[in-house]
Structure 1
Amino acid sequence: MKKPKKEKKPKKAKAAKGEGGDAKKGGMMGKVALILVMGATSFCTVFFLPRSEPVVTIVAADADAHAKPEHEEVPEPEKIPTAFLDMKSFTVSLKGRERVLRLGVALELPEEMIDYVDADDAQLRDAFMGYLSAIDMHQVEDAAFLVRLRAQLTRRAKFILGDDAVHNVLITDFLVR
């Protein structure tokens, strides 16, 4: 007996571009090739193109007479005579924990203002205490705390005494217990 012949299945035609199949691989390869070409172009642009030469200007012969001397003397800045005024220490409870901050402060003033500024000025002490009493312990633990503290105290001193009356506020004692 003869075996019946199996019917042959028709071969599938390759999918056209954009219909799926291998078209996806070609798209990915195209993107990779594009990235490689762009990278190579950028590399060649940076490393192989000639660099621009410095611009040379020609100056008239009499320009040397008007030129600045090479080593011009720079005058030293005028030093403003300053004086330091120590204030009584501040002792403040820190918020958040049962800790106490003791702070010593000195005002840097122009020398002529030393007679007009009182180290025990109630308004100045009140302005400082208002800021100090709002400090949390986590603020004190920050590395930049002293810089911010000095800036805030200086700002308050200039507000109370005037901009020209205070140059800076210096921290002379800082203790947390």
Structure 2
Amino acid sequence: MADEDPAVEGDPPKKSKMPLILGLVLALVGGGGGFYATWSGMILGSNADSHEVVEEEVKDPFGDIAFVEIDPMIISVDATPTRRLLRFRAQLEVPKSHQEDVTKLLPRVVDVLNSYLRALEVSDLEDQAALTRLRAQMLRRVQVVTGQGRVNDFLIMEFVLT
């Protein structure tokens, strides 16, 4: 019994980790290559046309807009013994194709804005969120007067309560 072979009863030999490491490296290289091939347009079509369109848009993103200035207005607010005045100036952002139409309707726009601003009280103007709320209200009124799609935005240039 003393002559037993120690290799027969010993632990089985350890398996090599080389196939696991090799598989992991090949998976990473294959994933990276697939990503690059898809991103560069080698697989699933070319993105050359879409890159050209994006470049054209970036060159002049504001080419289709114009600004129509509204004459400055001074409006008395709150007909109380302490007379307060609101000095107001604004511009309308319009598509160039509608600039002449909006300019023709400017007297109506001024009338609507003057009527709206005269109806406000001082407490409406002194609130911190007032300017945002008033801007939205005035934009909506101007869009009703000028028609759908003719005015993109309402820009307040001066808003001073004295």
User: What TM-score results when the alignment is normalised by the length of structure 1?
Assistant: 0.54
Report percent identity of matched pairs.
Answer: 28
Extract structure 1 runs of 4+ deviating beyond 2 A.
69-80, 119-122
Note if 1:94 corresponds to 2:70.
no
| Displacement after TM superposition at 1:122 (Å) | 2.2
Per-residue Cα deviation, 1:50-95 (whole angstroms, up to 9, x for no partner): xxxxxxxxxxxxxxx9xxx569978759546111111101211112
Evaluate the alpha carbon distance shift between residue 70 and residue 109 of structure 1 in structure 2; reply closer, same or farther with a 3 A threshold.
same
Residue 172 of structure 1: aligned partner: 157
Evaluate the alpha carbon distance shift between residue 119 and residue 153 of structure 1 in structure 2; reply closer, same or farther with a 3 A threshold.
farther
Tell me the number of residue pairs that the alignment of Structure 1 and Structure 2 aligns: 114
Note if 1:139 corresponds to 2:147.
no
| Displacement after TM superposition at 1:123 (Å) | 1.6
Distance in 1, matches of 2:72 and 2:154, equals 13
Evaluate the alpha carbon distance shift between residue 119 and residue 70 of structure 1 in structure 2; reply closer, same or farther with a 3 A threshold.
same
Aligned equivalent of 1:82, options 65, 76, 95: 65
RMSD: 3.0
Distance in 2, matches of 1:114 and 1:145, equals 29
| Displacement after TM superposition at 1:121 (Å) | 2.4
Note if 1:153 corresponds to 2:138.
yes
Distance in 1, matches of 2:40 and 2:91, equals 41
User: What TM-score results when the alignment is normalised by the length of structure 2?
Assistant: 0.59
Bigger radius of gyration, 1 or 2? 1
Contact conserved, 2:70 with 2:106, CA < 8 A, in 1? no
Distance in 1, matches of 2:70 and 2:158, equals 11
Note if 1:118 corresponds to 2:103.
yes
Distance in 2, matches of 1:160 and 1:112, equals 17
Distance in 2, matches of 1:119 and 1:170, equals 19
| Displacement after TM superposition at 1:175 (Å) | 1.2
Contact conserved, 2:105 with 2:146, CA < 8 A, in 1? no
Bigger helix share: 2
Evaluate the alpha carbon distance shift between residue 115 and residue 136 of structure 1 in structure 2; reply closer, same or farther with a 3 A threshold.
same
SS of alignment partner, residue 102 of structure 2: coil
